[in-house]
Structure 1
């Protein structure tokens, strides 16, 4: 496995990983919205071994659950909406941090004016401004696609996803909003977008809230990711794992580097944990 030399805690094999947070797009899910069967099988084995596996994602809760539901995996907890909506192992809500209403108004108005693609997420679903995928595409009940936001303001809004390049001139304006955190994330095909949450809500605070509620130590926690939005949870995990296609700053902060997203990286990490005796049972 690639990456920096193993940290001392891994060399001594001192404890089991009991909580694993996995980024979805670009990490578990690769190009073409593809999930490697080896990774799904590894998640199933981890769950069976007693590891609490949760997606940590910019997606809202229902979208975060979809890959696991389709695979029949017993995953119900989540660090959703970029950390603003945290769910326990049975899907129960542990933390919720809504965005300032004024910011949601600003995004909706400027998206309509400048024709941005944007998504406003709530604990119950999402409203996306952009082209409809087509009359033959049946959308899930928790997603609505509209050509304009108009006066629509889903509430409570826990995150806003903006499909803008990182060097877009409007990005600085968005980042200057008081009370809002803006971090880069990637789609499964590598497109960069911005995830906007309330200040103080990120994947790191979400992971901390979850492990504290479960009574799991930082040293018993691992996180896997690929982009800037994942760095806060790296800081809250005893073991930080990056997929090979991760951003340079993520690779630099990782303890391990695995295969690319959607190409067996989760299975590779799970096998290494097993070989090191760091899985329960």
Structure 2
């Protein structure tokens, strides 16, 4: 059952003009699938729906295959904004080579077991060190030949992994190491930190998209479950945490809905739009 809190009765009328939703742990279930209920609701919502995700551009394929039509997407935690109808990247914010070199040096000096990878070519390709766990086979994913290759081109995201650290402690450590040189966040249940250029967050990407569409923050409802969603939830006029959300996410959200496995986003939208 949904746990609606802090914003009155569920189903109260809101003047939402845009729905912004995370994907993993939010819109899809633990099997990485959209339920039929969620698919139906997304098709019935009378306002635009935008995906705001830590996923790279290439990982949209598995979601779009389940949808009647692809949705606009803000990828890599705000670094890449993509229009699926024109197959066009509208905006990219990258970590420069100079910043990458600096950040990689700091991480290698401070974290003995760190393993690193980068999202490049707007998130269409992924380069990683040999120590990075290879969880899938994809021609767009490859191991680097030399350490310098990791910083050879600008990246939309740098990823740092520790096999021994606590996930929250590792994020705190990396954030201290970086200072104001870059943005650090996490969306994984493991000790995996995602690093973006300074100022790049889900909130910044969504704000750019909404300004382009003439939509104010107060007209946006946003859904999320992990720390990388916090800037977006704080920016949006109305924020909803999933029932399975990280405690820090629940703490900043206006309301909490059901879990991703219980169609929390669909349930909330049905009530909000009287679907």
Match of 2:209 in 1: 210
Give me the whole-angstrom Cα distance separating, in 1, the residues matched to 2:44 and 2:240.
Answer: 18
- Partner of residue 58, structure 2: 62
Residues 103 and 263 of structure 1: is their aligned pair in 2 closer, same or farther, counting only changes over 3 Å? farther
Give the equivalent residue in structure 2 for 1:145.
142
Deviation at 1:132, TM superposition (A): 3.1
C-alpha distance in structure 2 between counterparts of 1:180 and 1:104, whole Å: 9
Distance of 1:175 and 1:32 partners within structure 2: 34
Residue of structure 2 in register with 1:92 after alignment:
88
TM-score between the two structures when normalised by the length of structure 2: 0.81
Q: Which runs of structure 2 are paired with 1:177-188 in the superposition (5 Å)?
A: 178-186=180-188
How far apart are 1:247 and its partner, in Å? 1.5
Q: How does 1:146-225 map to 2 (within 5 A)?
A: 146=143, 150-152=147-149, 153=151, 155-164=153-162, 165-168=167-170, 171-172=174-175, 174-176=177-179, 178-186=180-188, 190-225=189-224
1:105 to partner: Cα distance: 2.6
TM-superposed deviation, 1:106: 4.8
TM-score normalised by structure 1 residue count: 0.79
**What residue in structure 1 maps to residue 68 of structure 2?**
73
For residues 152 and 64 of structure 2, the distance between their equivalents in structure 1, rounded to whole angstroms, comes to: 25
The reply to whether residue 118 of structure 1 matches residue 119 of structure 2 is: no
CA distance 1:128–1:3, shift in 2 (3 Å): farther
Quote the Cα distance in structure 2 between the aligned partners of 1:37 and 1:127: 35
Check conservation: 1:61, 1:125, Cα contact below 8 A: no
Q: Which moved more, 1:259-268 or 1:25-34?
A: 25-34
Which ranges in structure 1 are unaligned for 5 or more consecutive residues?
A: none
- What is the rounded CA distance, in whole Å, between the counterparts of 1:237 and 1:172 in structure 2? 24
- Inter-CA distance 192–258: structure 2 relative to 1 (3 Å threshold): farther
Contact 1:100/1:179 (8 A) holds in 2: no
Moved more, 71-80 or 214-223: 71-80
What is the number of residues matched between the two proteins? 260
1:3 is matched with: 4
Where 2:127 maps in the other structure, the secondary structure is strand
Residues of 1 paired with 2:202 and 2:27: CA distance?
Answer: 16
**Shift of residue 108 of structure 1?**
5.2
How far the C-alpha of 1:261 sits from its partner, in A, is 2.3
Given that residues 132 and 145 in structure 1 are in contact (C-alpha distance below 8 angstroms), is that contact kept between their aligned partners in structure 2? no
In the alignment, does 2:217 pair up with 1:228? no
